[in-house]
């Protein structure tokens, strides 16, 4: 069953901790993305990767880090430098070739600072 799997569904972070959100896809897509969603706002791009071992900052990359060591995996680390990390995090993937490049999303991880 093809798709994108995000884990965990809920995550709690103490002040000063780093936490890592998992994103795995079996769609054989080259591109993967991380978005942040806050109540009443649209999705904002954190990082994206077009190919293994390469990634670029999005619009709100400060306080976050990523890696892309395998095509199917794109984990996001929320570091202690991120001052307001409580949000809903969404991972997506898509093809990079051609015009018909539909994006697919995971079910999200809700991160709460306690």
Partner 1 sequence: KQEVTQIPAALSVPEGENLVLNCSFTDSAIYNLQWFRQDPGKGLTSLLLIQSSQREQTSGRLNASLDKSSGRSTLYIAASQPGDSATYLCAVRYNFNKFYFGSGTKLNVKP
SS3 of 37, please? Answer: strand
Contact status, residue 14 vs residue 113, Cβ threshold 8 Å: yes
For 99, left (φ over 0), alpha (ψ -120 to 50), or beta? alpha
DSSP state of 73: B
Candidate segments 11-19, 68-76, 77-85, 103-111, binder of partner 1 by CB under 8 A: 103-111
Residues 56-85 that bind partner 1 (CB under 8 A): 56, 58
Taking CB under 8 A as the criterion, the residue among 16, 41, 83, 114 binding partner 1 is 41
- Contact residues: partner 1, CB under 8 A: 6, 31, 33, 35, 40-43, 45, 48, 50, 56, 58, 88, 90, 92, 96-97, 99-108, 110
């Amino acid at each position: 069953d093809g798709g994108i799997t995000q884990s965990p569904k809920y995550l709690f972070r103490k002040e000063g901790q780093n936490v890592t959100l998992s994103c795995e896809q079996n769609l054989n897509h080259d591109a993967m993305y991380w978005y942040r969603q806050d109540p009443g706002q649209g999705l904002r791009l954190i990082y994206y990767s077009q190919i293994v071992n390469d990634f670029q900052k999005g619009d709100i990359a400060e306080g976050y880090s990523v890696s892309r060591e395998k095509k199917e995996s794109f984990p996001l680390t929320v570091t202690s430098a991120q001052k307001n990390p409580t949000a809903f995090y969404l991972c997506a993937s898509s093809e990079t070739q051609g015009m018909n490049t539909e994006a697919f999303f995971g079910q999200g991880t809700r991160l709460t600072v306690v």
